[in-house]
A and B are shown apart, each in its own frame.
Chain A
């Protein structure tokens, strides 16, 4: 049953910081969480909810206010810095872009906890670095200066450095910030694969809700009050935790699509009947115009598919108008609204 022991376990943990000698500001907790080997955990939460503070506390970078954090059975603050460095590796939001380092020498710094007093790399260290570069898929970047890399590339280099540190636990603080969509997807997929293949416990704080729902084995949802809900992402969606949390922020989370509704409706109802992709995108277009889309109603839109051609029939007070594209449909709907329904 040894593999069922958590890599990291907290009891009654309160994370926060002290500003000034007497003022203590708790951010999150009390928490009882654990990270198991092979698990990818996404830490979600709005800006300012304390994701970074919690992450740094778990990593032992800043002291906890209350409670304990145990890594492989021993208290995180009782471990020597060098021992802790062999347990947890980090990717932080701190900028390293101004340094004169090449990607390879930056990744090589990941061997710091293992190298001798002068930091000379042995053959074994070089092998680990090569493996880390391969795992992060950045063989072509190794000789480039950090300052010349794009955001996405440099984030992968930082990931390779953490991999070179060869730790059972890995924590990443918003690694997808500043990245474009393909890089975000690549990075999250990479983390998912790493958790599976290397059996590491990986904790990622992120704002990528849709990606997190797809790749995470577990989601930790941190709310502004310091409350943390955790569970499989699907469970959190189905039992309404997501809806409840984001409802407080005035944002609608759509349980059926797993996406946010960014348009606040003008509460005019419109009916929509149709199937498949045309129905989905028509609904999106109507929502953008401020309608609340239901199944039946007056006005209503019916999607027709005839001989591979899609058309939209807008029905209002018994009158029928046929449209050949969504753009034309929207013009029709808008003129209808202007006439005062």
Chain B
């Protein structure tokens, strides 16, 4: 048992890195705020610069927390999908969950026409966000139920993936048809939403998002034993006493809650869901979900915050959409880990 101190050291290093990245994320932006003040604000020490204080409290901290929530939620839901379908390529977007959430949002944004543009939804405040989070979750859960009901009659994982991608494509086509017949300004609202943004979630919306993500994470952590059993496939899982139908529903619920709510508030953010589980498996060198779920949260948060820092292009006024950066940063990271450690095998 010599390996334990090494593991603890690695965990401590990751936590320290997380704290640094969190502070940097708050400090860096179109207005640069000194780290000293970030530190003071976070630990509620009396500050000096009131404008900086305002920016930190109202904009930067909510944005950083949104990144934390999105990082945790997306990576854990990706992990669950990879285990449920025993497929290393599975993530919420591959199986149509994100497309489902997008359809829900498109229905509100595009179908509503004059009464429900993004602005009106923002004006509606809490009820507006409930409307969007509800629509996105319904969309995500609907698609997910469809995918899983089909998965019951398929024994092959590759088939399942093909079916999932087909459903995703159908859903995206429906959205495209909708866009084709919609007014340009509504389409622009929707398109901006699809670029993804961590900055739009403030105040009460943040509480709602946090509630949904924390609930999803709790369900997920409670079902870590079910997920472990599913690593061997459904037949073995059943032979060990797992009720597969119930396990599937539980996993669907938490995945829909996580991916649906995050997509609703931040737009579709790709790649985190597929990349982080592989990173966690490699870094923690385990398949146990009891360790992988917190591990995914840790690495997902780190990656999401780093992506957000890069998206703000330190030293410039431009902000790139987060959805582009996650893939641009995440993909090389996964390739590097695979080449470097060579200890990832499937799911």
Tell me the complex Cα distance, A99–B286, Å. 10
- Contact A92-B241, Cβ < 8 Å, known A100-B287, A100-B345, A118-B225: no
**Is B236's CB under 8 angstroms from A88's CB?**
no
Question: B290 — nearest CB in chain A belongs to which residue?
Answer: A118
Can you name the residue of chain B whose Cβ is closest to the Cβ of A99? B231
Main secondary structure of the interface of B (DSSP, over half): loop
Whether A119 lies near B224 (C-beta < 8 A) is yes
State A86–B239 Cα separation when bound (angstroms). 9
**Which of the four size classes fits the interface of chain A?**
35 or more
- A282 interface residue, CB < 8 Å from B? no
In chain A, what residue has the closest Cβ to B345?
A147
Which chain A residues border B225 with CB–CB below 8 Å?
A: 112, 115, 117-119
Determine if A90 and B231 form an interchain contact, defined as CB atoms under 8 angstroms apart: no
> How many residues on B have C-beta within 8 angstroms of the other chain's C-beta atoms?
28
Asked if B57 lies at the interface with its beta carbon under 8 angstroms from chain A, I say no
**Interface flag for A106 (CB, 8 Å):** yes
A64 at the interface (CB under 8 A from B): no
Does the CB pair B345–A98 fall under 8 Å? yes
CA distance A120 to B290 in the complex (A): 9
Q: What's the Cα separation between A85 and B233 when bound, in Å?
A: 15
Do A145 and B236 have beta carbons less than 8 Å apart?
A: no
Nearest to A94 among chain B residues (CB) is B233
Task: Assess the B281–A112 pair: CB atoms within 8 A.
Answer: no
A109 interface hit (Cβ, 8 Å)? yes
> From B88, which residue of chain A is reached at the shortest CB distance?
A98
Would A81 and B233 be within 8 Å (CB), given that A98-B345, A105-B288 are in contact? no
Of residues 316 through 347 on chain B, the ones whose CB sits less than 8 Å from some CB of chain A are 343-347
Q: A115-B225, A147-B345 are in contact. Are A81 and B243 (CB under 8 A)?
A: yes
Q: Is the CB of B242 within 8 A of A112?
A: yes
Q: Which of chain A's residues have a CB closer than 8 A to the CB of B236?
A: 90, 92, 94, 96
What separation, in Å, do the CA atoms of A88 and B236 have in the docked complex?
A: 11
With A84-B241, A96-B236 in contact, is A147–B346 under 8 Å at CB? Answer: yes
CA distance A80 to B238 in the complex (A): 11
Q: Which residues of A contact B239 (CB under 8 A)?
A: 59, 61, 85, 88-90, 92
Q: Is A165 an interface residue (CB 8 A)?
A: yes
Chain A residues contacting B51 (CB-CB under 8 Å) are none
B346 contact from A81, A100, A110, Cβ within 8 A: A100
Contact B222 A99 (CB under 8 A): no
| A98, B346: Cβ atoms closer than 8 Å | yes
User: Bound complex: CA of A109 vs CA of B226, how far in Å?
Assistant: 10
Assess whether A119 is in contact with B228, with CB atoms less than 8 Å apart: yes
Known: A81-B238, A84-B241, A100-B281. A109 touches B347 (CB 8 A): no
Q: How many pairs of residues, A versus B, come closer than 8 Å at their CB atoms?
A: 92
CB-defined contacts of B232 to chain A, threshold 8 Å: 94, 96, 99, 106, 109
Chain A residue nearest to B225 in the complex (CB): A119
Residues of B within 8 A of A94 (CB): 232-233, 235-236
Known A99-B345, A100-B347: A118·B240 in contact at CB below 8 Å:
no
Task: Enumerate B82-120 residues with CB–CB distance to A below 8 Å.
Answer: 86, 88
Which residues A141-181 have CB closer than 8 A to chain B?
Answer: 145-147, 165
Contact with B along A64-100 (1 / 0, CB 8 A): 0000000000000000111111101110101110111
Residues of A within 8 Å of B344, CB to CB, are 100
CA distance A61 to B235 in the complex (A): 7
A85 near B345: Cβ-Cβ < 8 Å? no
A241-265 contacts to B, CB under 8 A, are none
B229 on interface, CB distance cutoff 8 Å: yes
Q: How far is the CA of A118 from the CA of B240 in the complex (A)?
A: 15
Q: Using Cβ atoms and an 8 Å threshold, which residues of chain A touch B229?
A: 109, 112
Q: How far is the CB of A328 from chain B (nearest CB, A)?
A: 54
Q: How far is the CB of A273 from chain B (nearest CB, A)?
A: 56
Contacts of A90 in B (CB 8 A): 235-236, 239
Once the chains are docked, how many angstroms separate the CA of A105 from the CA of B88?
Answer: 19
CB distance from B281 to the nearest CB of A (A): 5
Chain A nearest CB from B296 CB (Å) reads: 14
The chain A residue with its CB closest to the CB of B232 is A96
Question: Smallest CB–CB gap between B345 and chain A, Å?
Answer: 4
Q: Closest Cβ of chain B: how far from A55's Cβ, in Å? A: 11
Chain B residues contacting A113 (CB-CB under 8 Å) are 240-241
Q: Could you list which residues of chain A lie within 8 angstroms of chain B, going by C-beta atoms?
A: 56, 59, 61, 80-86, 88-90, 92, 94-96, 98-102, 105-106, 109-110, 112-113, 115, 117-120, 145-147, 165
B interface residues with partner A (beta carbon < 8 Å): 86, 88, 222, 224-225, 228-229, 231-233, 235-236, 238-243, 281, 286-288, 290, 343-347
29 contacts between A and B (CB under 8 A): A61-B235, A61-B238, A81-B241, A85-B239, A89-B239, A90-B239, A92-B239, A94-B235, A96-B236, A99-B86, A99-B231, A99-B345, A99-B347, A100-B287, A100-B346, A100-B347, A102-B287, A105-B286, A105-B288, A109-B229, A109-B232, A112-B228, A112-B240, A112-B241, A112-B242, A117-B222, A119-B228, A119-B288, A147-B346
Q: A89-B239, A145-B345 are in contact. List 14 more A-B contacts (CB 8 A).
A: A56-B235, A61-B238, A84-B241, A92-B239, A94-B235, A96-B231, A96-B232, A100-B344, A106-B232, A112-B228, A112-B229, A112-B240, A112-B242, A147-B345
